[in-house]
Structures are given as C-alpha cells and as structure tokens.
C-alpha cells in the first residue's frame, strides 16, 4: 500500500514558512482566486465540500487521497465492482508507490477516482495544468477532456502537455471524477499537478492572473535582455552584459515552456518531444550563462576552474537532452538540481567575498541573489513534490536582473561623470592647442602679408587726412547736384528720356554721397564712451526714408527679430548706423530681383574664440545679425569682402565704395568681431559681435 509514502509527503508539505514565502511574491495577482479559509482535503477517495461556498470561500484545490487502480483503465460502471489497490495523494507522481510489495516505476497506466460532495447544483469549472504524460477526464461517466492518448502499451500512448480549463453542469450534489493516466515517455508518471475547482468566473480570473503575471515577467526579462545585447554590441569588451542577456533569453523561453506553456500558442506545430527538449535546455543553459556572468562581473572572486567544471557538467546534460528521448533525459533532472544547489552555494560564497573586498555593486547583487536563491529552491521543492505551491523562479531571476541593471546604471552614471570631466579638460587643452596653432600660422603668414596690410593702412591713413580737407565740400556739391537734378526732372516731366537722365544723375550723386560718408566715418573713428542701444538704432533705420526708399526701389522685404533684454554697448550711434546701412546695402546687392533681409539682435556670453575674421575675448556681447536670401559669396571671395571697393554685384554693375571696409574698421574700433556664414543655396549671414558696456 502507498500510505507510508503519502504520510511522508504530508509531513514534508507541512512547512508553512516556505509555502507562505513562495506565495507572497505573487499574492497581489492571485489573491482574488485563493480561498479565504483552509480548503478540505480528500480522504479515502471522498472530498466533502458540502459546507463550502465557492462565492464566499473561493476556489478549491482537489488535494487529498484518490482511489488508485494500477494498470487498469476503468469506466464509470466497471469501477463499481473493483476495489482500489491503494489511495494515492494528488498532486504527486505514482513513482515510488508501494502496491502489494511492488514499488512502481514511472512507466505504466492507472485510473484515479474521486467523489466530490457539493453544497448545491451550480455551474462549475475545472483547471488542469498537466499530468504525466497523457490523460482523459470523466465526470459522472462522461468524457469531458482528452489530453494526449492514454493506453496500455507504449505504442498506444501519445504524450502531451496542454493546460486546459473546462466548465460543466453537475447532475447532482455528488459528482465522480475519473482520470485515465498513462505514461511511457517520462521517468515519473501520474497526476502530478493540482486540479482546481471553482466557479467559472473565478477559474477564468485565476488563469488570467497567471497569464498576466507570466507575460509581465516575460516582457520585462526579454526587454532587459535586448538592452544588454545592445550594450554588448556597443561595447564588445563588456561580456557581463552578453551573458546577462543570455540569462534573460533562457529565462524568457522557460516562462513559455512551463506552467501554462504559452509556447504552444506561438508554435502550435511543434512536437511534444521537441517542446520538452526546449523546456529542459532553457533550464540547463541558465547555469553556465550565470557562471560566466558572475566571472566577468567579479573575476578576482570567481575561480575560472570551478566555472569551467560547471560548464562541462552542464554541457554533458545538454548533449544528453539533444541526443536522447524524453524517457532518458528526464533522469538528468535530479543531478542537475544538485548541481544548481552547489552553484547557488558557490555563488553566495563569491558574492560575500566580493562584498568583504569592497567590490563595487556587491551588496546590491547580494540582495538580488538572495531572492533568486529562495525562489530557485522553492521551485526545486515544488518540482520534487516536497512542497505544494507555484513556480516563482522567474520572479527571482527578474529581481536579480533588476539589481544588476541598477548596478549598471550606477556604473554608467559614475563613468559618464568621469567622461564629462575628461571631456572638459580635453576641450580646454584642444582649444589651447588650436590657439597656439593659429598663432604659429599667423606668425608664418605675417611676413607674407605685412606688405599688403601696410599698403592698406597707408591707404586708410591718406583717406583720413584728405577727408578733413575735401570730403565736406564734395558732399555738399553732390547733394546740391542731386537736388538740382531732381528739380530739373520735375520741371521737364514732358520729356521721359530727360527725366530718366536726371534721375540717373541724382542716383549717382547719392552714391557719391555714400562714398563720402564712408570716408568721413573712417576719418572720425575714435574712442567713444556713449551708451548705445542697438535695437533703437535698428528701429530708427527701419523708420527712416532711406529704408523706405530701399524697399520701394529694390523690392526688398525687411524682417526683424530683436531680443528685448539686451544691454547697451559703448560706442557711437552714428557708427552703428553706418554698420547697419552698409550690411543692408551689401544684402540688397545680392538680390537684384528683390528678396528678404532679416535683422536680428541677441545677447550672448562667449568664451575666447576665433570668428571667421576676428578673434574675440571672453565676456558678454550684443550680436547684430544681417541675413539675406541672395546668391551667397564664393569661398574664394570671403577673404576679400572687407577690402575697399568690393561689391557683390556682377562686374558690369559694380559700384565703387568703402562700405564693407568701413564696417570692419568700426567693429575693430569697438573691440568687436565679425563672423560670416554663406553658401549658394541659403544666402549669407553676417554676425557683428559688439561688447556690452561695463559702465
């Protein structure tokens, strides 16, 4: 008889601390489906639920002693005339049960019978995970569920794992459950998984909660795995991330192949034998992947010889799974459980030593490792039927992975801070080298350009001297000529050709006035401590008749983007006005068919830097920008823009003038700088940097 074995199982199950620990981690999801009080246990093949209220008390696990008929597949009528060989506890395998002096092996077939007393007739549901390894279910003699094909011989038996949920309507307050179970493909057989009875909505809720938990774990673990794969491909020397990703993949596959076995939904055509191999391989591969992860995380604490020993044993087990049928490789489970326990102990020893050696992240990994160890031991006890509960090792793996991810984030943050500090130091050093290189190049070019600069300085000096003597009279003469030409044009309105000639004379006179004003500006450059608001200069220009005339004659549209919070500069409003007018005239020259000129201001603080034309020192600057949509300046002409008499018009239309050279001179006098961006498609943008007054 099998009573002694069952007494042993009962005594081993009476460990409330482990059972509470195993359920605590998933209580939030499955609490609605658990009974609110201790459920009855079947005795001598009868489960009395006559005082059980499913709506109030919840679901019932059909645990207890079932009638057991060895090597018999009895129907509802035949079993009435038979006496059970023994009573066997469900859930547990029949392997090892003693019947009439014979200890049963895992292979064979049998009938289980349980009578259930119900409080009332109401629609109920049964939830099955799997039996070992094929079974049919009868309720009151009616076949309600077929999983695989139980038979009396191996050739008649077809194994299958397929979790099921069935609903039924009891014919009375007493029902009979019959299980035909056969196994010829596994080392153990029998009704090894719990059967849950309850109201249909509660059973469905239980299954949905289990699915939600498994999918949550699967998604979280696989996402972390993908992140660690990405980290490894970005940094090939970080092999710990590679093995952590492989742990995630193995754990994710195992979630799909145990419990509700969702892998069948993804791969419905996969054979039962292949599915079992994938289940075992996902478990066996975890050990070497975890060992290499620990070694690459704490190489000084983990002995590589012990790690390779674990690898070799795991490799042998994996080869056995690949090369043999389920009946053979299922015997590898007990030694692999022992190996995993040894690996857990050795891993704990390594982590404790890493913590004592003040290794970075050891403490946080110890926390995750404790959770992983408890959940792994729980699953081993559940898989060996020493403890009734649920599989929670995936939760432990997720907890350990999260702890490792926190460690990676901490290391990344620390490394990023170090990199930023090094980047700042490198940037500073690079700037110094660039400045030294620029000074060296300028020194080399100084001898070649001194003649040209000397000639320009002589030219500007001569212009300044002459300006004091003659430009005032020239300006007056040109102004008078312009006025007289306009008077003549108005008085001879009947002759269009003469009117056009007079207007051309007036326009030429205005151009001459512009050249004279540029010369006057050059001759009057001197230190000026007046405070100037650049925004006011721009607004005055846009309201002036000169601006209106430009818009009318050239078809130019002015846009403005003025920062309201800029501080004043130290200088002359007249000189800033000349900068603005000359830059605007230059922008108009580039757009003979009309276009857009954008004027803008902003205040910025800059480090010492080299602009396109000038070098400026550290401090706050007002940046005056003039941007156009014209044809742009050719690269070979950029160095000539601020030469006297340069113009962006075509050669046949060039007008002589000092406008841009005046801009350069005024900006230098104000201790500012000039930057330029130009290309053929987007036009040209000049930026004038003028230091903010310190008064």
pLDDT range class, residue 382, cuts 50, 70, 90: confident
User: Under the phi-then-psi rule, with left for phi > 0, alpha for psi from -120 to 50, and beta for the rest, what region is 123?
Assistant: beta
Per residue in 60-106, pLDDT (tens digit) is: 999 999 999 999 999 988 898 889 999 999 999 999 999 988 999 99
User: Under the phi-then-psi rule, with left for phi > 0, alpha for psi from -120 to 50, and beta for the rest, what region is 385?
Assistant: left
547 within 8 A of 558, measured Cβ to Cβ: yes
**Overall size of the chain counted in residues:** 695
567 within 8 A of 622, measured Cβ to Cβ: yes
Question: How confident is the model at residue 28, as a pLDDT?
Answer: 37
User: What average pLDDT does the chain have?
Assistant: 81
Query: HEC string of 80-115?
Result: HHCCCCEEEEECCCCCCCEECCEECCCCEEEEEEEE
Residue whose entry in the numeric block shows the structure tokens 């309850």: 198
Per residue in 252-308, pLDDT (tens digit) is: 898 888 888 888 878 888 888 899 999 999 999 999 998 998 888 888 889 989 999
The two three-digit tokens of residue 378, written as one number? 């729980």
255 within 8 A of 214, measured Cβ to Cβ: yes
Per residue in 178-193, pLDDT (tens digit) is: 999 999 999 999 999 9
Which of 12-16, 401-405, 482-486 is most confident? 401-405
The CATH topology of domain 35-198 is: Jelly Rolls (2.60.120)
Three-state secondary structure call for residue 692? strand
Between CA 511 and CA 147 the distance in angstroms is 102
Per residue in 306-318, pLDDT (tens digit) is: 999 999 999 999 9
Per residue in 550-603, pLDDT (tens digit) is: 788 788 888 998 998 899 988 888 888 888 888 888 888 888 888 889 999 999
313 within 8 A of 340, measured Cβ to Cβ: no
Question: How confident is the model at residue 495, as a pLDDT?
Answer: 64
Average pLDDT for residues 626-640, to the nearest whole number?
81
pLDDT range class, residue 530, cuts 50, 70, 90: confident
Between CA 403 and CA 499 the distance in angstroms is 89
Instruction: For the chain, give the percent of residues with pLDDT over 90.
Output: 32
| Strand 86-90 relative to strand 102-103, pairing | unpaired
What DSSP string runs through 335-355? HHHHHHHHHHHHHHHHHHHHH
Per residue in 431-451, pLDDT (tens digit) is: 888 888 888 887 777 766 666
More confident residue, 35 or 205: 205
Per residue in 484-524, pLDDT (tens digit) is: 666 666 666 566 666 666 666 665 555 555 555 555 555 55
Average pLDDT for residues 16-20, to the nearest whole number?
38
Q: Which CATH number fits domain 525-695: 3.30.450.20, 3.40.50.280, 3.40.50.12160, 3.30.565.10?
A: 3.30.565.10
Question: How confident is the model at residue 655, as a pLDDT?
Answer: 38
pLDDT range class, residue 29, cuts 50, 70, 90: very low
Per residue in 121-163, pLDDT (tens digit) is: 899 999 998 898 999 999 999 999 999 999 999 999 999 988 9
**HSE (side-chain half, CA atoms, 13 Å) at 210:** 22
Can you give the residue ranges of every domain in the chain?
35-198, 206-391, 525-695
Per residue in 449-466, pLDDT (tens digit) is: 666 666 665 665 565 555
To 10 degrees, the CA torsion angle through 507, 512, 518, 520? -130
pLDDT range class, residue 239, cuts 50, 70, 90: confident
359 within 8 A of 351, measured Cβ to Cβ: no
- CA 394 to chain CA centroid, nearest Å: 23
Question: How confident is the model at residue 640, as a pLDDT?
Answer: 75
- C-alpha distance from residue 365 to each of 55, 200, 237, 471 (Å): 44, 43, 21, 86
More confident residue, 518 or 25: 518
Residue whose entry in the numeric block shows the structure tokens 């660690």: 228
The two three-digit tokens of residue 184, written as one number? 């010829």
Between CA 373 and CA 397 the distance in angstroms is 9
Average pLDDT for residues 102-122, to the nearest whole number?
94
Buried-exposed string 422-459: b where 16+ CB fall within 10 A, e elsewhere: eeeeeeeeeeeeeeeeeeeeeeeeeeeeeeeeeeeeee
Smallest CA-to-CA distance from 200 within 126, 288, 290 is with 126
Q: Do you find a cis peptide bond into 91, omega within 30 degrees of 0?
A: yes
Question: How confident is the model at residue 373, as a pLDDT?
Answer: 86
């Amino acid at each position: 008889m099998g009573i002694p074995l069952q007494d042993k199982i009962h005594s081993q199950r009476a460990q409330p601390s482990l059972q509470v620990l195993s359920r605590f981690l998933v209580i939030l999801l499955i609490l609605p489906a658990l009974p609110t009080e201790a459920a009855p246990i079947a005795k001598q093949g009868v489960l009395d639920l006559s005082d059980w209220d499913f709506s109030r008390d919840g679901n019932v696990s059909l645990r207890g002693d079932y009638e057991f008929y060895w090597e018999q597949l009895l129907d509802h009528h035949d079993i009435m005339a038979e006496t059970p060989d023994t009573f066997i506890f469900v859930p547990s395998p029949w392997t090892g049960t003693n019947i009439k002096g014979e200890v049963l092996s895992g292979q064979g077939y049998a009938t289980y019978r349980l009578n259930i007393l119900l409080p009332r007739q109401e629609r109920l549901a049964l939830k099955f995970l799997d039996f070992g390894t094929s079974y049919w279910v009868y309720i009151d003699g009616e076949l309600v569920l077929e999983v695989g094909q139980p038979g009396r011989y191996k050739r008649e038996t077809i194994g299958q794992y397929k979790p099921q949920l069935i609903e039924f309507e009891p014919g009375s307050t007493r029902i009979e459950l019959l299980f035909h179970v056969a196994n010829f493909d596994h080392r153990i057989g029998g009704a090894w998984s719990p059967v849950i009875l309850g109201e249909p909505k509660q059973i469905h809720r239980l299954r949905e909660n289990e699915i939600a938990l498994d999918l949550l774990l699967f998604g979280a673990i696989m996402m972390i795995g993908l992140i660690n794969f990405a980290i490894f491909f970005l940094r090939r020397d970080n092999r710990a991330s590679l093995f952590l990703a492989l742990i995630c993949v193995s754990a994710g596959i195992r979630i799909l192949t145990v419990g509700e076995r969702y892998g069948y939904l993804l791969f419905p055509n996969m054979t039962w034998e292949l599915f079992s191999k994938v289940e075992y391989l996902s478990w066996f591969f975890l050990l070497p992947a975890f060992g290499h992860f620990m070694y690459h995380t704490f190489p000084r604490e983990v002995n590589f010889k012990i790690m390779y020993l674990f690898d070799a044993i795991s490799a042998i087990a994996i080869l056995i799974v690949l090369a043999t049928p389920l009946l053979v490789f299922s015997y590898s489970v007990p030694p692999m459980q022992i190996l995993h326990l040894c690996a857990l102990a050795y891993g704990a020893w390594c982590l404790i030593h890493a913590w004592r050696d003040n290794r970075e992240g050891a403490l946080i990994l110890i926390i995750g490792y404790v959770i992983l160890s408890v959940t792994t031991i729980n699953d081993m006890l559940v898989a060996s039927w020493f403890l009734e509960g649920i599989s929670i090792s995936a939760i432990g793996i997720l907890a350990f992975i999260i702890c490792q991810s926190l460690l990676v984030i901490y290391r990344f943050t620390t490394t990023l801070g170090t990199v930023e500090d090094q980047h700042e130091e490198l940037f500073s050093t690079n700037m110094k080298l660039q400045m030294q290189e620029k000074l060296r190049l300028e020194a080399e070019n100084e001898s070649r350009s001194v003649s040209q600069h000397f000639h320009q300085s002589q030219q500007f000096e001569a212009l300044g001297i002459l300006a004091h003597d003659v430009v005032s009279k020239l300006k007056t003469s040109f102004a008078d000529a312009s006025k007289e030409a306009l008077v003549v044009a108005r008085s001879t309105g009947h002759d269009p050709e003469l009117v056009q000639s007079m207007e051309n004379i007036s326009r030429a006179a205005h151009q001459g006035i512009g050249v004279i004003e540029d010369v006057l500006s050059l001759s009057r450059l001197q230190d000026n401590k007046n405070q100037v608001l650049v925004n006011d200069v721009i607004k005055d220009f846009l309201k002036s008749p000169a601006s209106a005339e430009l818009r009318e004659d050239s078809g130019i549209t002015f846009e403005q983007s003025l920062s309201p919070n800029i501080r004043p500069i130290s200088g002359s409003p007249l000189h800033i006005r000349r900068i603005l007018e000359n830059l605007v005239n230059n922008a108009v020259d580039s757009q003979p068919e009309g276009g857009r000129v954008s004027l803008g201001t902003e205040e910025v603080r800059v480090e010492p830097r080299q602009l396109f034309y000038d070098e400026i020192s550290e401090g706050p600057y007002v940046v005056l920008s003039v941007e156009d949509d014209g044809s742009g300046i050719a690269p070979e002409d950029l160095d000539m823009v601020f030469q006297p008499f340069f113009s962006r018009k075509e050669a046949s239309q060039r007008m002589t003038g000092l406008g841009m050279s005046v801009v350069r001179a005024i900006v230098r006098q104000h201790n500012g700088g000039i930057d330029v961006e130009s290309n053929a498609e987007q036009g040209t943008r000049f930026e004038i940097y003028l230091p903010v007054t310190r008064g």
